Structure 1
Amino acid sequence: MSDLALLQVAVLQTALVWQDAQANRQQLAQQLQQINADLIVLPEMFSTGFSMRSDVIAEPEGETLAWLKQQAALCGAALCGSVATRTERGCVNRCYFVTPQGDVSYYDKKHLFRMAGEHQAYIAGEPRVVVQYRGWRVLLQVCYDLRFPVFSRNRNDYDVALYVANWPAARAHAWRTLLQARAIENQAFVLGCNRVGQDGNGVDYRGDSLIVDYLGLLQAELAPNEAAVLTASLDLSALTQYRQQFPAYLDADEFSLSGYV
């Protein structure tokens, strides 16, 4: 798009094939061909589903990362989504942000979902990550991070927060409510990308992917259980004007957390 103040975003709400990276990459490549956007968001662990078999599914920075670079170049869009990744320090739930030019940023999920044993299968990341893209500042977050508002508190350092997820249908109300709350309290756009279908453990997912503006209002949503693409145009000028007119961030409490500052 010629106007860099506008960011055309797309959230891909789709079913995933359990623990089959090749099948998921193939079906996602077909879906990506139909999308025209500046930024496309994929679900958490989009190549395998939310599996705790890190010994089986985690891969080094290889095939799926190369696929992301290829698809970003083909789409002319940045791609964001998380992958079970094997590193020197252990397996992590790594959220990649890959630009059409092949630049790679990543954030390793900090808050691991202990109720599913994620803290036993993966190692937590430490710092949060804000990516610069087309004049926008983009905060990368993964699923369970949504429940921890201090970690995502806007320190006037981001404009849009991305939450990639495999968030179960049983807790859909919490997902939707918290996405809107994060947008309101941080005066930022929020994109929540969740999957649909059922995983290999019998857990149901109904999607509820949302694009939320800085007022907490829904810009786009899909019907429950619908596999489709959610799109919207984000306006940085409108966000900046709103922050100037209603500068609540100037009255925010000062705080620091060891390891995050």
Structure 2
Amino acid sequence: MRIASIQLDSVWQDAEANLTALASYRKQLKKDLVDVVVLPELFHSGFSMNTKQIQQDRTGLVYSKLSQLAKELGIYIIAGVALKSDGNKALNSALVFDRNGTEQACYIKNYAFSYANEDQFYQAGTQQVIFNIDDAACSVFICYDLRFPEVFRKVAQQVEMVFVIANWPASRQQHWQTLLQARAIENQCFVVGVNRTGEDGNGLLYEGGSSVISPFGEILSGMDADSHYLVTEVDPKQALTIRERFPFLNDMQ
């Protein structure tokens, strides 16, 4: 599986600008024979609480452009999008599109970041998702979820790879890297973490640090704050090999 991690410096609350930035990678993605593209949390807006302005629906620009790009290139796309809900709050979601541009999964962030008042503007989800990228079983979580290992345990025995998309600030960068490795080690699966770079509309700085971690906790690839695009090739089935050699998950209670 060839995974393209894209560390966008998301333009604040400007979906068109961020979609244009994504489209600029079209030729490179095709050249690199990528299987899946991973974008940060709320890639189209940054981590904004102005949900009335940034929220999207499934007939809107962001959704349609992601679907079109997946179909055009014949790739999977995992992207963080603020979706409209039936209630007063938006949904901080991770949308998964398959090679035909069809929505394969929609995960709603389980843990709203109350420290930044996210819980006042976004409705937390209660379910996890499992989906396939070709023949690899995968799941996805969003940013603050990373601090709660119990939610990863709910899918651990059923997946070979977990994606974590984020707007994780530079002030807690060490936590990001440490927790990505911890989730990979304890669940014996690949972890693909994709963060943003730059500065958001609230003045928060982001240093990227996107990386791919092996089921043994090794950093297979990574990016610093000055990098924006990286392709990593992995064999997800190696997670099963490691679990057979070290059957630690069998002792879960």
**TM-score normalized with structure 1 length:** 0.91
Tell whether the 8 Å contact from 2:91 to 2:124 is kept in structure 1 after alignment.
Answer: yes
Counterpart mapping for 1:9-88 below 5 A: 9-35=3-29, 36=32, 37-61=34-58, 62-88=60-86
Tell whether the 8 Å contact from 1:33 to 1:75 is kept in structure 2 after alignment.
Answer: no
Tell whether the 8 Å contact from 1:96 to 1:106 is kept in structure 2 after alignment.
Answer: yes
Q: CA deviation at 1:69?
A: 0.7
Q: CA deviation at 1:236?
A: 2.9
Counterpart in the other structure of 2:236: 236
Q: Deviations over 1:57-111 (max 9, x none)?
A: 1122222111111111122210001111112134110110001212211101110
Q: Which runs of 4+ in 1 moved over 6 A?
A: none
Counterpart in the other structure of 2:252: 252
Q: One-letter code of the match for 1:24?
A: N
Tell whether the 8 Å contact from 2:8 to 2:43 is kept in structure 1 after alignment.
Answer: no
Partner-residue secondary structure (3-state), 1:145: helix
Partner-residue secondary structure (3-state), 2:57: coil
Structure 1: unaligned runs, 5 residues or longer: 1-6, 254-261
Q: CA deviation at 1:133?
A: 2.0
Partner-residue secondary structure (3-state), 1:141: strand
Partner-residue secondary structure (3-state), 1:126: coil
Q: 1:155 to 1:239 in 2, by over 3 A?
A: closer
Partner-residue secondary structure (3-state), 1:84: strand
Q: Deviations over 1:198-224 (max 9, x none)?
A: 00000000001110010010010112x
Q: CA deviation at 1:242?
A: 1.4
Return the alpha-carbon distance in structure 2 between the equivalents of residues 58 and 144 of structure 1. Answer: 20
Q: One-letter code of the match for 1:46?
A: F
1:183 equivalent in alignment to 2:177: no
Bigger shift: residues 146-155 or 38-47: 146-155
Partner-residue secondary structure (3-state), 2:119: helix
Return the alpha-carbon distance in structure 1 between the equivalents of residues 168 and 118 of structure 2. Answer: 14
Q: CA deviation at 1:56?
A: 1.4
Tell whether the 8 Å contact from 1:93 to 1:109 is kept in structure 2 after alignment.
Answer: yes
Counterpart mapping for 1:126-145 below 5 A: 126-145=126-145
Structure 2: unaligned runs, 5 residues or longer: none
Q: Deviations over 1:95-145 (max 9, x none)?
A: 100012122111011101111110001111110111122011111100000
**TM-score normalized with structure 2 length:** 0.94
Q: Which has the higher strand share?
A: 1
Counterpart in the other structure of 1:102: 101
Q: One-letter code of the match for 1:101?
A: N
Counterpart in the other structure of 2:219: 218
Q: One-letter code of the match for 1:66?
A: S
Bigger shift: residues 46-55 or 69-78: 69-78
Q: CA deviation at 1:228?
A: 2.0
Tell whether the 8 Å contact from 1:14 to 1:227 is kept in structure 2 after alignment.
Answer: no
Q: One-letter code of the match for 2:9?
A: A
Q: One-letter code of the match for 1:157?
A: Q
Q: One-letter code of the match for 1:16?
A: S
Q: CA deviation at 1:238?
A: 2.4
Counterpart in the other structure of 1:259: none
Tell whether the 8 Å contact from 2:182 to 2:217 is kept in structure 1 after alignment.
Answer: yes
Tell whether the 8 Å contact from 1:95 to 1:142 is kept in structure 2 after alignment.
Answer: yes
Q: One-letter code of the match for 2:93?
A: R
Q: Deviations over 1:153-193 (max 9, x none)?
A: 14411110000000000000000000000000000000000
Q: CA deviation at 1:10?
A: 1.2
Return the alpha-carbon distance in structure 2 between the equivalents of residues 53 and 236 of structure 1. Answer: 38
Tell whether the 8 Å contact from 2:161 to 2:236 is kept in structure 1 after alignment.
Answer: no
Return the alpha-carbon distance in structure 2 between the equivalents of residues 164 and 116 of structure 1. Answer: 17
Tell whether the 8 Å contact from 2:12 to 2:46 is kept in structure 1 after alignment.
Answer: yes
Q: CA deviation at 1:237?
A: 3.5
Counterpart in the other structure of 2:195: 194
Q: Which has the higher helix share?
A: 2
